[in-house]
Amino acid sequence: MTSASSGDSGGCIFCGALEAEPPSPLILHRGARCFVILNKYPYSNGHLLVVPRRHVATLAGLDQPELAELAALAKAAEQVLTAAYAPHGINVGINVGRAAGAGAPGHLHAHLVPRWDGDTSFMTVVADTRVVPEELGATAQRLRPLFERTLAG
């Protein structure tokens, strides 16, 4: 893993997941410049992240090929989540910096969160509780083959 000038990758959850042996079971797809991983603490079933392989903190720090692959994988993730869960909508967001809500502020990542009319996301706000009925391993088994098919064509 190559560190960017925007920060040291030591202790980074994303760099650690990418370099883990055996590979992290939460990784759904590895691209040339970015990868897709399930959020370990999801807001809803299928909550995933698109992450540059390079440890970089901002969109401005990405080179053009990284930015293009980040967008292409976000598009594929939208297709995969739609096929797997038929959500009524999907939140797509990037938090740049801790003040903006980034949980891992040194390593940029895009969230894709499936949403349904009447879903229970309010629970996190009012009860400090998340309601996610699908175990992460089952989510990975459901989504990984869909990424393979979606990105093969």
Say which CATH number the domain at 138 has.
Answer: 3.30.428.10
**What pLDDT digit, counting tens, does each position of 55-89 carry?**
999 999 999 999 999 999 999 999 999 999 999 99
- Domain containing 134 equals 13-152
Encoded tokens for 47: 């909550």
On whether residue 3 sits in a domain, the answer given is: no
- Whole-model pTM: value is 0.85
pLDDT > 50? residue 123? no
- Residue 109 is among the residues annotated as catalytic for this protein: yes
Three-class secondary structure assignment of the chain: CCECCCCCCCCCHHHHHHHCCCCCCCEEEECCCEEEEECCCCCCCCCEEEEECCECCCHHHCCHHHHHHHHHHHHHHHHHHHHHHCCCEEEEEECCCHHHCCCCCCCCCEEEEEECCCCCCHHHHHHCCCCCCCCHHHHHHHHHHHHHHHHHC
Q: pLDDT class for 118, splitting at 50, 70, 90?
A: confident
On whether residue 7 sits in a domain, the answer given is: no
Catalytic residue among 29, 55, 107, 109: 109
On whether residue 5 sits in a domain, the answer given is: no
CA–CA separation, 153 vs 148, rounded Å? 9
